[in-house]
Structure 1
Amino acid sequence: MKSIVDKPKIFGTGLVALDLVMGLNPNSPVQSWAGGTCGNVMAIMSYLGWDAFPIARMNGDPASERVRADLGHWNVHLDFANCAPTGHTPIIIQQIKRARDGTPTHRFLWTCPHCGQRLPSYRPVTQVAVDAIVPNLKGSSVFFLDRLSRAALTLAAAASAEGAIVLFEPSGKSDEKLFAEALGLAHVVKYSDQRLAAAGAAMTAHSATLVEIQTLGSDGLRYRHRLDGVVSDWMQVPAFPAPRLVDSCGSGDWCTGGFVAKAADGGRSAFLARGGVGLKEALRFGQALAAWNCGFEGARGGMYLVNRTDFDRQIKSILDGRPTLVPIDSTIKVGASVACPACPDQPSRREAHVQSAA
């Protein structure tokens, strides 16, 4: 009789949004995918073979239904995706353009380009959701958070008590008290040098931090750890050359996903047992996924265009120093439309909606 092996579990709370991606080709339909840092990490972890559980407040509006459909397509578990009190799902517009030197670049829009109103923004889960979720954290390997609230920290602490690795990926330093508490809970702190260099010194005598990771864009990343009880020197992992440079958006999320998949599938005890050598291998794997992702538009565009077998082969080729890409079918079916919720519901305005990818 063949035994059934349970998948490692990851829970996460933070930015789960609808990404509207406007590509380089102005004649191509605008694509819509589940996005936001937490949304991307949950989808990536499910793609890599984990059971992923995002914790969010989706209320059934068109944007949330599109996000749910997309996450469901990748077998992400949505048991805790509509925590009360529910609210509008955040919408983020990503525009991809070319810089003067011809390299692709992108920017994010937080207002509707048609009516000028601000698009729905992030709202954290509240204490109302905690009691229903905590019993389900037993057996989880990782708890991920990129936005802070009292409920998020309560959930992270509960997961940690069950032996999970808490991974904090701050988007900014807002509430100083909550930020300090997060550093006191998180076993892994990962942040961008460009966006949050001030988060350095996460590894203090009063923090739980075992690994501190600072991403450096095209220069790769640097990290330090105290897996053996002593804080190491900073060590650098250079970036892998991207097989093709189309869009770098989401590469940090792929780096996180690859790192977690290789280093944290057995929770905190297994994470510690891997030691410094295992940590570096996991970070290199994450960097390989980040380089691969640069070949596609959108934060997770490659997931829709490359099957899993070819994905594994391409990642191996990047790790081996001989990056290759196989031909892909770049035709994406157009599915349901998602309009700005602030735009007047009139035919002339409804024509301004954007099309989503199936």
Structure 2
Amino acid sequence: MRTKHGAPEVVGTGFTVLDRIYADGGFSAEALGGSCGNVLVSLAMLDRAVAPVLVLGCDDVGRKLVDEFQSAGADVSFISLHADLASPVLAQELDTTTGEHRFRFTCLDTDAEFPRYRSIGVDEAANADGAIGTCAVFYSDRVSVGIVTAMESARSSGAVVYFEPSDIDDEELFERALRAATILKYSSDRLGGDLDARTAASGAISIVTHGEAGLEMRQGTDVRWCDAIATDRVMDTCGSGDMVSVGLIDWLLSSRGTPGPEMTLGGLVRGVVAGQRLAAENCGYAGARGLFQEKGAMHARRILSLP
């Protein structure tokens, strides 16, 4: 199966879960979430041709996640549903007066532990090799043998490999992922001490986030700072980083930017700022994709299209 767009522009894999949101002490909503899930489904809603490569359980949660991707227009033919797995769930506790949130891998009502995310393997990567080898952008926020194999295949085929790690679990696999990455985005608080020196010597463009202060763009010795964009209302800061990625990847795929090995910081600034605008607006709504859910994809597209 292919989307109405034909071959996928964006292929991605990584942390995808069902988010259960508890706002101000009570359950409020549940929706597809996780960094990878948020980025891919948002791009699909923006009318980009997206193909997630995932392993989920053949259960109600897994079918709900597939349905959300499919409703957004994504190609779901590379999502594998397994009867012996339980699909991952994550609880988000949100204080809408401060915009602060925290995550739990246990149910807030029963204290039962939720099923955890499971990475794709080599077989799933091989099954999607045709899409991986023809996409313009490959996205991942995790590493595994299957994921890194896919990253290397995408890079060798000329795709932009967008890597957004949150931690370093396997040093050897992580090093391979760094070598395959075209764009590396990470939090200064979480990974700055581990990655700053290592990425300075690499050819990858790094986007280093500093929370509400803004972010740095780095390529070798070239460093540029982008201040955070102010917003009138902050209800939920969850998903802000994902929206920056959505904006930049969307910009890369547009006529304003051409994905390829000759990208420079100056060429990417407009895409990063577009993502920052989307992130600032999204903070005014509950949920990692609250803006999309409350105002719709056309509103998000208008924000991204501002000069």
The equivalent residue for 2:13 is: 13
Deviation for aligned residue 1:310:
3.2
Distance 1:253 1:22 in 2: 20
Shift in Å, 1:191 = 0.3
CA-atom RMSD in angstroms: 2.4
Give 1:119-198 correspondences, 5 Å limit: 119-197=114-192, 198=194
Give CA deviations for 1:236-265 in whole Å, capped at 9, x if unaligned.
100101232110100100100101111255
Cα distance in 2, alignment partners of residues 164 and 269 from structure 1: 11
Shift of the alpha carbon at 1:173?
A: 1.0
Q: 1:243 to 1:46 in 2, by over 3 A?
A: farther
Kindly provide the amino acid, as one letter, of the partner of residue 38 in structure 1.
Answer: C
Matches within 5 A, 1:238-257: 238-257=227-246
Name the counterpart of 2:89: 91
Change over 3 Å in CA distance of 1:60–1:34 after alignment to 2: same
| CA distance in 2 between partners of 1:55 and 1:10 (Å) | 11
Aligned length: 302
TM-score relative to the length of structure 1: 0.78
Aligned to 1:218: 212
2:17 partner letter: A
Q: 3-state DSSP class of the match of 1:235? A: strand
**Structure 2 SS opposite 1:96:** strand
The alpha carbon displacement at 1:84 in A equals 6.0
Contact 1:202 1:212 in 2 (8 A): no
Deviations 1:162-215 (A, max 9, x none): 11011111111111111111111111110011222122234355x4x4201100
**Residue number in structure 1 paired with 2:195:** 199
1:304 to 275, 284, 293: 293
SS at match of 1:78: coil
Give CA-to-partner distance per residue, 1:285-312, whole Å, 9 cap, x none.
1111111110110000111211344334
**One-letter code aligned to 1:63:** V
Please give the alpha-carbon distance, in whole angstroms, between the structure 2 residues aligned to 1:111 and 1:136.
35
Give the CA deviation at 1:71. 1.8
Offset from partner CA, 1:116-165 (integer Å, 9 cap, x none): 22111111111221321112223201111111100101111111111101
Aligned position for 2:62: 64
SS, match of residue 160 in structure 1? helix
Question: What letter is aligned with 1:125?
Answer: I
How far the C-alpha of 1:52 sits from its partner, in A, is: 1.1
Measured in 2, the distance between the counterparts of 1:294 and 1:190 equals 20
SS in 2 for 1:135: helix
Cα 1:77–1:124 shift into 2, 3 Å: same
CA displacement, residues 299-344 of structure 1 (integer Å, 9 cap, x when unaligned): 001112113443344456xx67xxxxxxxxxxxxxxxxxxxxxxxx
- Compared with structure 1, are the counterparts of its residues 265 and 6 closer, same or farther at alpha carbon in structure 2 (3 Å cutoff)? farther
Matching residue's letter, 1:23 = A
Determine if contact 2:92/2:101 at 8 Å carries over to the other structure: yes
Contact 1:142 1:167 (C-alpha < 8 Å) held by counterparts = yes
Q: Which runs of 5+ in 2 are unaligned?
A: none
Give how far 1:273 is off: 5.0
Distance in 2 (alpha carbons) for counterparts of 1:35 and 1:264: 23
Change (3 A) 1:111 1:309: closer
2:53 is the counterpart of 1:55: yes
CA distance in 1, matches of 2:297, 2:116: 33
Unaligned runs of 5+ in 1: 226-230, 321-358
Secondary structure, aligned partner of 2:222? coil
**Map of 2:224 onto structure 1:** 235
Q: Mark the CA change 1:275 to 1:176 in structure 2 (over 3 Å): closer, same or farther.
A: closer
**Bigger Cα Rg:** 1
Determine helix, strand or coil for the equivalent of 2:37: helix
Secondary structure in 1 aligned to 2:75? coil
Q: Relative to structure 2, which stretch is displaced further, 292-301 or 304-313?
A: 304-313
